[in-house]
Structure 1
Amino acid sequence: MTVELKALADETAASVLILNQRNSFGTRRDNARPIAADLYGGEAAKADYDAILYLYRAEKYKAERVATAASDSD
């Protein structure tokens, strides 16, 4: 799908915004902060995009991180 949308953007000289929900692997890690492997398709999916922006809501995970922290620095 990404290839077709990029071709459409080239033909019409327009920008295309693709929103992609990450897979659920990030929720299984100690730190849920998004990484490239969280994209559907993994690291190889990055090649399809000109830019990637990850959104992370720290407040959503803060209480859980504080409750499971082994020390103050964690």
Structure 2
Amino acid sequence: KGVEADTTLDEWMKKAKKAKCKAIAKFAANIEDDKQAVKAARQTEYSNALLEGTVNRIKCIKRTMYNRAGIELLRAKVIYGL
């Protein structure tokens, strides 16, 4: 998983940086700038998906309630999922 995946990532980045599509080339360059973090994220079993989903849910509730109700109702919607 580790060495083989690293080699595959390195090969992909070389190809992507030479791509005609500038967005892909820039994306590959950005990954290379933070290569250690990308490798660590691929190798760990942990995920922050639950946290991100919760934050997204709260932001959605806030957007729908903007200028419509007070903090008490917002708190109730977030806590009790109304």
TM > 0.5 fold call: no
Relative to the length of structure 2, the TM-score reads: 0.23
Relative to the length of structure 1, the TM-score reads: 0.24
Q: Which has the higher contact order (CA 8 A, sep 6+)?
A: 1
- More helix as a share of residues: 2
